[in-house]
Structure formats: C-alpha cells, structure tokens
Amino acid sequence: MELQKENGRANVVFNSALCLYLILIVLQIPLMIGLIFSLNFFFSIPAELYHDTVILFSCSSAAFLISMLDSVFGLPVFAFNRLDISSSLDLGKQVLRFCGIIIVFLWYGVALRYIGYIDLALALMTLSCNFYFCRRFAPNLKIQPKEIRFSILGPIFKMSFWTLLDNLGSLLFLRSDIWIINRFISAQAAGQYAALLVISNFIKQIGMLLGRQIAPSTMTLFAQKRLPELQMLLKQTETMLPLAVSFPIAIVTIFSRDLLTLWLNPGYAVLAPVLIVTVVHLIANATNFPLFYLYVAMNKVKLNGIILIILGIVNVMVVYLLGITFGLGLLGVAIGGGLVLGAKNAIFTPLYGAYLLRLPKTFFFRTLKNGILSMVLTCVVGFVIHKFLFFGGWSSLLLCMAVTGAFSLIGVWFLVLPIHDRIMLLEYVPKRFRFRKKSLS
C-alpha cells in the first residue's frame, strides 16, 4: 500500500519484507527436510513409490519457498491493479501445468516425480515474470540492504505470522481429510476421495479466481481511505459470488451419479453422496475470498487466523470421529469437513466482514441466502430436466446441464434476485445487451 501513497516508504517496506521472508524461508528449510525424511510415518506409501514421493515433496517444498519470494516481487502488479497480468500469470501457470503433466506422462511415462519437476519449474518461471514486472512498474524498488528497517520488521512479521497461521488452519481443513483416509482407511480410498475433490476444487477455484479480481482494488481503496467505495465493491462482489458458484454446485449435485459413471467408471457411482457433500458446503466456503483480502488490507488477520487454526484442529477431530470412530468412511470425512468449515464461513466470516466494513450485521447473510435459494432452485430445475431429457452418454449429460443452467438462470433472475440486485448486475452488461428497465419489474 506504500506504493499508493505520496512520499510512501515503499523501498523500505520492500527490502524489510524481503529480508523477513528470507529469514522465514531459512527457518522452514530444516522443518521441511525433517518432514520429507519422515513421510512413511505420516503416510502409507507403497515401497515402489517412495523414491518418487520424496522427489515430489522436495520439489513441492522448494516451489512453496520460491512462492514466498514471489509474493514479495509480485506486489507492484498487485498494487497497480494490473489484473490482466496477474490473471494471465495464474491462468498460464495452470494451463502449462496441466499440459506439461500430460505431455511428460505421454513422453516419459507416468511418475510422481515429474509433477514435482513441473511445479518447481513453474514456480521459477512465475518468480522470473514477477521480478520483470516489479522492475517495470516500480523501478524505484531496489534490493538495498541499507534500506532494511528492523523497527518495521515487527509489524510485518506480526501480519505475516498471522497470515501463515491462517494458511496453516486452511491446510488443516483442506489436506487433513486425505491424510486421515490414507492413514486410517486405505491408500485406495484416499485415491478415490482425491478424484472426487477434483470437482469440488474446480468450483472452489471459480470462487477464488473471482475473489482475486478485486484484491488489488481492495488494497488500493483502503490505502486511499475511500471507505464508501470499498463498501460498495465488497457488497457487489459478495452479491455475485454466491450466485456464480450456486449453479455448478447444484448441477454437480443433481448429475453426480451420471457424471462419476461417465468421467471415471461405473464403480464410482456409489460415491455420488460423497461428491454431493463435498460440493454443497461450497455455497458458503467458496464465496468468502474477497473478505480475506479485506482482512489483509486492514491488517485484521489475527482473529481470523486464531479462529481458523482452532477450528482446523476441531475439523481433524470431527473428521476422525465421523469417518473412523463412527465408521462412516468417506461420507463421514466429507460431512465432518463441510460442517466445521461451513459453520465458520456461514457465521463468523459474514459477521466479522460486516463489522469491519461498518455494514449491518445481517448484510452478508442476505447475500448468502440468495446463493442458497439459487442453488435450491437450480436443483429443482435440474431434477426435472434429468428425469425427462437424460438418456445416457456424454452428449445427453452436457445437454441436460446446459438446459438446466439456462432455465435456472432465468428463474433466479425473476424469483430470487431483488430488483436492486438486478439493476446492479445489469451495470456489468454491455448496453446493447441490456434488458429494457421496465422489464426488471
């Protein structure tokens, strides 16, 4: 935010942050080495895959450490609101990873170590790109040890610490389920569950991608003390996000059995209830990313980090209790994770976000309610469409999904959205495609 201020101490903050992150990287290296050499203690790994697994974890750990440096050099792109560049880098990284894995597997054969190599190469590529854009957009930022101010390392470390704690809590939510299944059920069950998570992670990526689009604007508006505009930005985003993710959630819910049968194999159809549970809670859990950037902008990550780490531990306990102790297996694991994270993001996150923005306490509950109603309406439409139009095969499934989405969009527009939300959404539509205003009512 110093880049947005006149006479800001951008170079001091940049060098101090770079110094701090280098210290954190050095401190994490021994911990990661210890984890890598203790993999057999934490995971059930077949002997023939152990060598590849060690390489995969080593490369992934190195890529993570590089990404910490990348976050420092990527600040100018973020600060100057160059969404085109940041989005292109993110999209390019995902496309290159996907295509790279396919090409390498076809050329050299399937091996876990190749995924690690690709992740490490992409991390280095992203760092190089952000370093270039850092020099281009902020040429005044230079690596100068004399600019390091230990007096501001404390505040930077404090914020970074709580952000890291927040990320650790997120890991307890996002990765503990696979570990528990692998450790206490079977490696095969963990593989099946991981396959289901591909779909839920895709929906989560939609929410994350949309949320990241306003992150630079959030930082800029707060730095410039333009609170009314910041309030409006978050209002609009939190209105659109639940609606955006409600359609894929509902479509996956209704067509889950057919999707698993065609995408994987008929044996996976019995896991349709598990897939449904893994996606339904995303109506609350994939729509809160803009508020996290608000916490960062306002340096209010401490409370969120504390609650997330506590609930992360609770999540591990609940997942183990339902999945292992009560014998519910994969379904219990999915229910446990969805309940705990859903409680946090459906109760605490809306209240805390409204408090920070000085909005009515129930504001974000109203936007979440619209998302839930949209999801329910889409499920009803999808159920009817599936009953009369689905005859088996990919073409029939895709047709049903498209028709469900089209009719649901019309229904949500007229039955769920209030008039002021419709007017707001129309502002984002090119004028030549807009409805006439009298049709809104």
Tens digit of pLDDT for each residue in 170-217? 767 777 888 888 888 887 888 888 888 888 888 887 888 777 777 778
The residue that leads in pLDDT, 356 or 250, is 250
Q: Which position has the higher pLDDT, 429 or 20? A: 20
**pLDDT per residue as tens digits for the range 373-415:** 999 999 999 999 999 888 888 899 999 999 999 999 999 999 9
How do residues 271-315 score in pLDDT, each as one tens digit?
999 999 999 999 988 888 888 888 877 878 778 878 888 888 898
* AA identity, residue 135: R
Q: Tell me the pTM.
A: 0.76
**Tally of CB atoms within 10 A around 201:** 15
Give 224-264 pLDDT, tens digit per residue.
788 888 888 888 888 888 988 999 999 999 999 999 998 88
- Break the chain down into helix, strand, coil percent, rounded to 5: 85, 0, 15
| Dihedral over Cα of 426, 432, 435, 438: its sign | positive
How confident is residue 429, by pLDDT bands cut at 50, 70 and 90? low
Sign of CA dihedral 42, 46, 47, 49: negative
Q: What are 100's two structure tokens?
A: 């790279």
In sign, the C-alpha dihedral spanning 414, 419, 423, 428 is: negative
More confident residue, 102 or 29: 29
- Which stretch of DSSP H or E encloses residue 83? helix 83-108
- Locate 298 and state its tokens: 């306002």
Burial of residue 82 (CB within 10 Å: 0-12, 13-18, 19+) is middle
User: 343 is written with which tokens?
Assistant: 């409680």
Helix axes 176-184, 329-343, angle to 10 degrees: 160
Given a cut of 70, is residue 159 above it in pLDDT? no
Domain boundaries, the chain: 1-148, 165-441
Q: Contact at 8 Å (CB) between 303 and 292?
A: no
Tell me the C-alpha distance between 423 and 131, whole Å.
Answer: 41
Asked whether 373 and 416 are in contact (CB, 8 A), the reply is yes
Q: 374 exposed, middle or buried (CB, 10 Å; 0-12, 13-18, 19+)?
A: buried
Question: If you search the block for the tokens 């440096």, which residue do you land on?
Answer: 69
Q: What is the pLDDT of residue 398?
A: 93
Q: Is 428 helix (H, G, I), strand (E, B) or coil?
A: coil
Q: 208 CB contacts (<8 Å, ≥6 apart)?
A: 286, 289
273: nearest Cα among 196, 180, 207: 196
